[in-house]
A and B are shown apart, each in its own frame.
Chain A
Amino acid sequence: MPTVAYREALNQAMAEEMERDDRIFLMGEEVGHYDGAYKVSKGLLARFGEKRVVDTPIAEGGFVGVGIGAAMVGLRPIIELMTWNFSLVAADQLINNAAKIRQMSGGQFTLPVVFRGPGGSAHQLAAQHSQSTEALWAHIPGLKVVMPANPKDAKGLLKSAIRDDNPIVFIEGEVLYGDQGEIPEGEYTIPLGVGEVKRQGKDITIIGWSKMVKLALAAAEQLATEGIEVEVVDPRTIRPLDEELLVASVKKTGRCLIVEEGWPFNGVGAEIAYRIGKACFDDLDAPVERLTGADMPMPYNHHLEAQCVPDIARTVAAVKRLLYLE
């Protein structure tokens, strides 16, 4: 199995799909001549030309709408948002148009379009460049929300997203681009809406996605040294949610901690906690717990920032609380 970086896995997914289907084009800020702000589209302009790798001005509301229009009439655009922070100026396009045109038209138009780019906090980028938007998008019926945690998932899920006939919000981990990981040899896809158990365990389930999977695995490693066996479950797709997988794990372990980077109020974790609480009511040995980002805009200061996102120490402590060990 080859080892590639997360960004390279995404690049392979786009290149393979563009090779397969000439209705697919990539459009966004700096995707072409600059080779991508995060180098995800590196080499694609040279390979596919300016017709299919299209640099845009800084006009998200405009080019997100262009992607929607092109998809309505049969193309399959990939629209790169330099970061999901900038998607907010295109919120009308995503919410009022992308998510609703199929229904408003009585099913006459479908929108095979992927909106992709990095999300979550990075390092000291301050409030406007450090936020998790998945709860916003997952709130909207009509959108699917995909958040890969590693190179294998990134490639397989992006290929499925590109082949899907619905508008997809594909949120990559801004700090995951350099992560290396093994990917299967040759062609493969990972279906949307199917999660994965990233580590088996019997004592407690940690549910996390995107870079929180990495954090959960590190916490699990540490807890293992104390004899606590953590099961880490990654839904991979926020909407549709693989509720079956999450429920099966919690029914087995009897305990559940949800770790998410986003804000707590109306967060994705709140929805998952509700579903787990309902489906696993008779199996829970402790209330479902959440560890989330702090309920405030992200501060710039390094020490304050670190305390605003979940970390290993607080994850470990939360697990122990749920196991009544502290």
Chain B
Amino acid sequence: MSRIEREVVEPREKARSVDKAQLVHYYHQMLAIRRMEEALAKAYALRKFGGFLHLYIGQEAVAVGAIATLKPDDYVIATYREHAHAYAKGMPVKQIIAEMYGKETGCSKGLGGSMHLFDAARNFLGGYGIVGGHIPIAAGTAYASKYRGDGRVTLCFFGDGSVAQGAFHEGVALAALWRLPVVFICENNLYSMGTPLYRSLSVTDVSQKALGYGIARDRFDGEDVIRVRDRVGEAVRRARNESMPTLIEIRTYRFRGHSMSDAGLYRTKEEVEEWKKRDPIGYGRSLLEKANVPEAEIVAIETQVKQEIEEAVQFAEDSPELAFERLSEFTYKE
């Protein structure tokens, strides 16, 4: 292991209620996210599109497990590493990939790109490029839910790099003060870009920040989609039933660099390989095997995902771009 010690978190789960169909569904989602991002990385290398590309590879169980706890009306808001969250909230792969390609058929008409996926119809409130800047917005959407009494919950995802930002503290402080129905999920992948956690936070247990704000906290490892679902589910219930926020720290790891230009020189190959043993996709597949899902069915999922991604890439390739003449209508609403 590297200098980043893996803190052992005791499994707290009791009886896991796992339905076979759900397992298959989560595996399908995680695999689609993985294959989609692999396709994106390939297209990026071929210069099919530009900009930044922050891959989520290695963290898939977090987005899939957490968002599985939501109803369609609930809100999700995330960072610039948000392809998975958008997909898990229901955004079609075609719209995601077309957005990367800068096409008019993309979710944001090619105006947002990789970092700014939005889907109003599915209550996916965006990917944001300024670290921590979306956390007060999450308090705002939760504020609106409480104001209207509509019973909706906001899930707000961010990385460990956000935790040093003032916006994180202001957003959490207001949510706690006003008892807002929001779940703050810190996806602690141990590095804020190239800086390891222990060089950016004096207390590396992020969940402890909840203590100062008087809200519930939780902390666990994120490779098991069922664990993520069940533990986030507790917080979602707290938000929905008691209108109380929770801060959850989920320990995870990104197998790729911070972005495509990152050679990853700040961590060892051994460390990366160690974490790859806990690949959420591999773990998900083992859950399917344990649940006696026939190999043929698993392979069928894999084939289906492959086809879905290929079609989406083709769709993006073939799609038109927005005309410059139309651009100004997006600056102000008339």
A residues sitting closer than 8 Å to B (CB atoms) are: 25, 51, 56-57, 59, 61-75, 89, 92-93, 96-97, 101-110, 141-142, 144, 165-166
Contacts and interface: CB of A to CB of B under 8 A. Distances in A.
Given A70-B141, A166-B332, 5 more contacts: A63-B170, A66-B140, A70-B143, A92-B167, A107-B333
Contacts of A57: 173-174, 177
Nearest to B133: A92
B140 A69 contact: yes
A102 B333 CA distance: 8
A66 B330 contact: no
Interface residues of B, number: 45
A101 B147 CA distance: 22
8 contacts: A65-B135, A69-B136, A70-B141, A70-B144, A70-B147, A93-B167, A102-B333, A166-B333
B162 to A, nearest CB: 13
A75 B119 contact: no
A104 B116 contact: yes
Contacts of A109: 118, 120, 125-126
Contact of A141 (B134, B139, B331): B331
B280 interface: no
Contacts of A75: 144, 147-148
Contacts of A61: 136, 166-167, 170
A62 B137 contact: no
Nearest to B170: A62
A170 B137 CA distance: 21
Contacts of A59: 170, 173-174
B108 A106 contact: yes
A64 B171 CA distance: 10
Interface centre among B141, B329, B332, B333 (most CB of A within 10 A): B332
B109 interface: yes
A62 B137 CA distance: 8
A66 B109 contact: no
B107 interface: yes
A62 B130 contact: no
Nearest to A141: B331
Interface of B: 75, 77, 106-112, 116, 118-120, 125-126, 128-130, 133-145, 147-148, 166-167, 170-171, 173-174, 177, 329-333
Contact of A144 (B120, B133, B332): B332
A103 B118 contact: no
4 closest A-B pairs by beta carbon, nearest first, are A69-B140, A65-B136, A62-B170, A106-B109
Contacts of B135: 65
Given A51-B147, A61-B170, A66 B331 contact: no
Contact of A65 (B75, B129, B140): B140
A51 to B, nearest CB: 7
Nearest to B125: A72
A103 B143 contact: no
Nearest to A99: B331
A101 B126 contact: yes
A56 B174 contact: yes
A267 B111 CA distance: 29
Contact of B144 (A56, A63, A65, A69): A69
Contacts of B173: 57, 59, 62
Nearest to B156: A69
B141 A106 contact: no
A102 B330 contact: yes
B120 A105 contact: yes
B303 to A, nearest CB: 32
Contacts of B107: 106, 108
Contacts of A141: 331
Contacts of A67: 140
Contacts of B111: 103-106
A165 B170 CA distance: 26
B137 A110 contact: no
Nearest to B180: A66
Contacts of A105: 108, 111-112, 116, 118, 120, 126
Nearest to B140: A69
A257 B333 CA distance: 33
A129 B303 CA distance: 64
Nearest to B138: A69
B118 A106 contact: yes
Contact of A70 (B106, B110, B140, B170): B140
Given A74-B144, A105-B108, A142-B332, A65 B118 contact: no
B141 A107 contact: no
B147 A104 contact: no
A65 B167 contact: yes
Contacts of A96: 129-130, 133
A97 B332 CA distance: 14
B140 A72 contact: yes
B331 A103 contact: yes
B108 A108 contact: yes
A142 B112 contact: no
Nearest to B328: A141
B174 A63 contact: yes
B137 A65 contact: yes
A147 B331 CA distance: 21
A108 to B, nearest CB: 4
A59 B331 CA distance: 28
A82 B77 CA distance: 29
Interface centre among A63, A65, A72 (most CB of B within 10 A): A65
A64 B125 CA distance: 17
A162 to B, nearest CB: 15
B174 A66 contact: yes
